[in-house]
Amino acid sequence: MTYNDNFNHQRKRVFIKHKICRFCADSSLKIDYKDSKNLAAFTTERGKIIPRRISGNCAKHQRMLAVAIKRARNIALLPFTTAKIKTKEHREP
């Protein structure tokens, strides 16, 4: 037995559970820019949009979600960033 054969037998198999898009699974859920509570679940504390590989959305719904979040930001339903970020002008000496 060679080194490669022995190595292949010792390797553990890891099964990854794929995330399912919650909008595909439940057709009653709709993506709407006016629903800020549901959109806030797909943003981080700092206001960034959570990527598809983490949220588990399909590509179609991730694009729709991104557009809805951007629209909600423009009409001030969602913040662009948090207020905790300090700028150079507001720093205390």
| CATH code assigned at 37 | 4.10.640.10
- Model confidence pLDDT, tens digit, residues 51-76: 999 999 999 999 999 999 999 999 99
Determine, yes or no, domain membership for 28: yes
Asked, for residue 43, whether it belongs to a domain, the answer is yes
88 lies in some domain: no
- Spatial separation of the C-alpha atoms in residues 78 and 33, rounded to whole Å: 9
Domain count, the chain: 1
Residues 6+ apart with CB under 8 A from 58: 21, 23, 24, 52
Is the residue at 27 inside a domain?
A: yes
Q: What radius of gyration, in Å, describes the C-alpha atoms of the chain?
A: 21
* Domain coverage including residue 53: 18-74
Tokens of 67: 């557009």
Domain contains 67: yes
Task: Give the model confidence (pLDDT) of 22-37 as tens digits.
Answer: 999 999 999 999 999 9
